[in-house]
Amino acid sequence: MAKAAILEQVGGLTIGEVELADPGPHEVLIDTKACGLCHSDLHFIDGAYPHPLPAIPGHEAAGVVRSVGSEVKTVKPGDHVVSCLSAFCGHCEFCVTGRMALCMGADTRRDQTAAPRIMRADGSAPVAQMLNLSAFCEQMLIHEHACVAIDKDMPLDRAAVIGCAVTTGAGAIFNACSVVPGEAVAVVGCGGVGLAAINAAKITGAGKVIAIDPIPEKRALAETLGATHTVDAMADDAVEQVMKISGGGVHHAIEAVGRQASADLAVKILRRGGTATILGMMPLDCKVGLGAMDLLSGKKLQGAIMGMNHFPVDLPRLVDFYMRGLLDLDTIIAERIPLEKINEGFEKMKQGTSARSVVVFD
């Protein structure tokens, strides 16, 4: 029996109990130790992105392996692991061409005909596993290709946020943009993802690092993490300010909000040949575009789901960056809360003034 925050119906989470199955051949049972609250969870909780219910959200987690299936080779009981929603099959076109973040994870879920991984505590009905993880639960039963072992010295609450926000933000800089030292980077939105992008831009040796956010507290956090300049996103002259700071536009603009206006802003602040990278989950009917002059100026626009990670390689490196004092996860985490306070945590996220909340399990 495991305690979980269950999405019974759109609007909020209910604390309840579920029963997890025994690990199948390629599955891993993990005692969850921490799970960050991600904006993407909120899209499912408030119904913007539909999902079969009941379901357990949560996808930014770290824990300790309890048991493994007979064929599992990559982790063993006792290992400390970070989970990742980019479960990969290892043999599709995307995997074999090094773009595993695009893999649809074909064999990483259980067959429709097999017993479900998660059931109601009384065994009466299945509970849907969200993003192949369902980490707002004391235990997770996941495919071995959905987690990676990390250094045991790494604190697990800080390891958790690497699983989504930091992988996405840092991955955009390292993998999707391949930022060259000295280039100008602007980040629109300074939540967990945006702050990680700013921190990664600093690590990679970017020149100007411009943080754009409407909230003063978040702009201050951005400066702590490495922003050289900040701009109020709501200022009438926000574009002009970025143009002036960067001497004619940035080489890379990262959108880390998921709103039409912030995506459009990311395109507007590019210099000739610059690239806008959209990370946020925008409402499903949104479209971002490049105009004729943008195209004639060699500007580019790209998505970078989950920072185009190769997480089994990237996550241990990010852990190493933290251990060496390069990656500042302490500033990204605003508060640690028990599972029972999860709805309050999401309310705080809606207000948008603080950085990451992390659920910790004892």
Is 164 noted as a catalytic residue in this protein? yes
C-beta separation of 28 from 142 below 8 A: yes
Choice from 40, 83, 86, 139 touching Zn ion (CB under 5 A): 40
CB of 40 to Zn ion, least distance (A): 4
Determine the Cα–Cα distance for residues 296 and 314; give it in Å rounded to an integer: 35
CB of 98 to Zn ion, least distance (A): 11
Q: Using CA of residue 142, residue 147, residue 153, residue 154, what is the dihedral sign?
A: negative
Q: Which is nearer to Zn ion, 193 or 267 (CB)?
A: 193
Output the six-digit token pair for 315. 């996550």
CB of 88 to Zn ion, least distance (A): 5
47: left (phi over 0), alpha (psi -120 to 50) or beta: left
- Order of strands across the sheet that contains 2-9: 118-120, 12-20, 2-9, 55-56, 128-129
Is 145 noted as a catalytic residue in this protein? no
Selecting among 103, 137, 147, 164, the annotated active-site residue is 164
Selecting among 26, 59, 143, 252, the annotated active-site residue is 59
Q: Which is nearer to Zn ion, 250 or 281 (CB)?
A: 281
Is 89 noted as a catalytic residue in this protein? no
Q: Which is nearer to Zn ion, 182 or 283 (CB)?
A: 283
CB of 262 to Zn ion, least distance (A): 17
Q: Which is nearer to Zn ion, 37 or 118 (CB)?
A: 37
Is 286 noted as a catalytic residue in this protein? no
Q: Which is nearer to Zn ion, 117 or 145 (CB)?
A: 145
Give the x-and-dash track for 146-165 against Zn ion (CB under 5 A): ------------------x-
Part in contact with Zn ion (CB under 5 A); list of ranges 3-11, 93-101, 122-130, 182-190 = 93-101
| DSSP secondary structure, 103-148, as one string | ---GGGS--TTSPPSEEETTSSSB-EEGGGT--SBSEEEEEGGGEE
Part in contact with Zn ion (CB under 5 A); list of ranges 89-97, 136-144, 173-181, 289-297 = 89-97
Q: Which of 305, 359, 347 is nearest to 56 (CA)?
A: 359
Output the six-digit token pair for 72. 């599992």
Residues for the chain: how many in total? 362
C-beta separation of 142 from 217 below 8 A: no
Residues that bind Zn ion (CB under 5 A): 38, 40, 88-89, 92, 95, 103, 164
Q: Which residues are catalytic?
A: 38, 40, 43, 59, 164
